[in-house]
Chain A
Amino acid sequence: MIPLPTFDETPIAALRNIDFSYDDGTVALQGVTLDIWRGEHIALVGGNGSGKTTLAKHLNGLLRPSRGRVLVKGKDTAKQSVAALSRTVGYAFQNPDHQLFCPTVAEEVLFGPKNLGFAEAEAVEKAGRALKMLSIDHLKDKAPLSLSLGDRRRVSVASVIAMDPEVLVLDEPSTGLDAREAAELMRALDGLNKDGKTVILITHEMRLVAEHSERVVVMAHGQVSLDCRTRVAFSEPETLRQSGVIPPVAVQLAQRLLEFDVSPEVLTVDELAEEVARVRGART
């Protein structure tokens, strides 16, 4: 595994040898150790039941490990409440309908910042910025529950962004969104990442991972099976397959054309087209 450059001395979040089992006895995580540095754009992937959501829920205290420690900004999360940790780690749930309850979008997006105790003016400013970032400013006065799924999801993500956390965890944020909405969402996340926010994406849309995440953590059966740069991760198809993950089609195609000197580190359609054109040119 290629070591990653550290952006900071202390990881912004760290899991040290975590074990976790659910009440009914299922072992969900085993000996997981992971460091997340400030400003990273990470994808957390794996088949259903691999433990990726379970792992992510440890970052903001929704779940507590039965063994090992979780550190956020160097401090153990064991004694901090979920609400307290939400100041640093924002979590957008897979089902936006589990969050929405306010009469208007504006109030919904203000809910988080108000809970964190921001002054009125500051809260409104943060909420406004979040709405604009996700292009839903025009929905400000509408009832969240009357909106389409794509809009509801954007409201839910906006309400987490408005809390201005340093780390953003998003659980399957592209589900239910069409191409344009998904692209806008990812654009917003990339923008936040450029501003220094740490973005953690839980997803099985490998295409999004290939196009946006610089680091991939692959989970299988409650353990980390692969943790490296995205380009490198996708050039290990066997490990991925065993973890229930299929690389995006562009990558699969590239891997079938290796005999023609096509680079195995291709990630996107454009890169592949470039490579094939190059190779073709080199042969004539």
Chain B
Amino acid sequence: MTGFVDLYSEGDTFLHRIDARVKIIAVLLLSVLAFLLSSVYPLTLLLTFIFILLFLARATLSRTWFALRFVIRFMVLIVVLWPIFDPSGTPVWATFGPVKITEPAVWRGITSAVRVGCLACVWYILMFTTSQRDLVRALVKMGLRFDFGLALAISLRFLPTFSATIDSIKDAERARGMELDKGGLLKRSKNYVAVLVPTIVSALRSADTLSLALHSRAYGARADRTYLREPKMRPKDAVALSIVIAILVVPVFFKYALGVPL
């Protein structure tokens, strides 16, 4: 399974065009909603809604499959394991030795699985439709200190570089006769010193030059700072935000104020 360092999938869907801050808030609100709902039917409705959004994000097939594969596996795992570890409730459907499978436990398992599905997919939608750049900018605009935002951005930017460096280092050690993939755990751990040391040295050297470059471009010269591109809220972002707030507020109102079992 190839991991993705950057889940962002370029595109021009309406989701891509929404301000990153609105998307971050939306993800948080929808996550809160997923926790507040406790009945399986409204949760499934939420999941369906989120799935639709996920497909509307039009992420590449490989990314979507990567996301779904992970989520579905996890959901299935929860559905299967929950009743095994939760023997409470009636009626009992089956018994295997000390393990009691009861109907309410099965439903609880399914409910949790759907909840997890909602949480995971809503974050995937954010990742698919928001570039790392926009994410960091949004966080800084929402109050994250610029220094932290820069540190975050630099880490993200150098991840693929370090990944490539590590691959190159592994190749170099293999070419010196070291079998990185064989041997017991202890031997393999020792072998990884040969990979770890050059990696760290490489990182430190890069950091050194990077720090000089930052100084040379007047980083930290002034307390104030202008930004070439500022995230701007537009009317449609405000509309999207209100819709999301409504999606949270309405069921919460019905559940807690009116006592509807959601």
Q: List chain A positions with a Cβ less than 8 A from chain B.
A: 23, 57, 60, 62, 81-83, 86-87, 90-91, 93, 95, 97-101, 111-112, 115-116, 145, 159-160, 163
The answer on a CB contact under 8 Å between A115 and B198 is: no
B178 touches A (CB below 8 Å): yes
B6 interface hit (Cβ, 8 Å): no
Residues of chain B with a CB closer than 8 A to A115's CB: 176-179
A-B contact pairs, 15 of them (CB 8 A): A62-B171, A83-B177, A86-B175, A86-B177, A87-B177, A91-B175, A93-B168, A97-B198, A97-B202, A98-B165, A98-B172, A98-B202, A99-B173, A101-B197, A160-B176
In the complex, what residues of B have CB within 8 A of residue A160's CB?
175-176
Interface membership of B194, Cβ < 8 A: yes
Contact (A83, B168) CB under 8 Å given A101-B193, A101-B194, A101-B197: no
CB-based contact B177/A100 at 8 Å: no
Contact between chains at B198 and A100 (CB < 8 Å): yes
List residues of B whose CB falls within 8 A of some A CB.
Answer: 2, 165, 168-169, 171-179, 193-194, 196-198, 201-202, 205
Closest to A116 in B: B177
Q: Which chain B residues lie closer than 8 Å to A91 at the CB level?
A: 175
Inter-subunit contact B172/A83 (CB<8 Å): no
Give the CA-CA distance A81 to B171 in the complex, in Å: 11
Give complex CA distance A39, B199 in Å: 35
Q: Which among A83, A87, A145, A163 is the interface contact of B174 at CB below 8 angstroms? A: A83
Measured CA separation A87–B179 after assembly (Å): 13
Cα separation A141 to B194 with both chains bound (whole Å):
19
Is A86 in contact with B198, judged by CB distance below 8 angstroms?
A: no
A189 to B250, CA, bound (A): 78
Contact residues in B for A100 (Cβ distance below 8 Å): 197-198, 201
Measured between beta carbons, the chain B residues less than 8 angstroms from A87 are 177
| Distance to closest chain A CB from B207 (angstroms) | 14
A115 to chain B, nearest CB (A): 3
Chain B neighbourhood of A111, CB < 8 A: 176, 178, 194
Q: How far is the CB of A160 from chain B (nearest CB, A)?
A: 7
Chain A residues positioned under 8 Å from B177 (CB to CB)? 83, 86-87, 112, 115-116, 163
Known interface pairs A82-B174, A116-B177; 11 further A-B residue pairs with C-beta atoms within 8 A, sorted by A's residue number: A60-B175, A82-B175, A83-B174, A83-B178, A98-B172, A99-B176, A100-B197, A101-B194, A101-B196, A101-B198, A160-B175
Shortest Cβ gap from A122 to chain B (Å):
14
B18 to chain A, nearest CB (A): 29
Most A Cβ at <10 Å: residue of B176, B179, B201:
B176
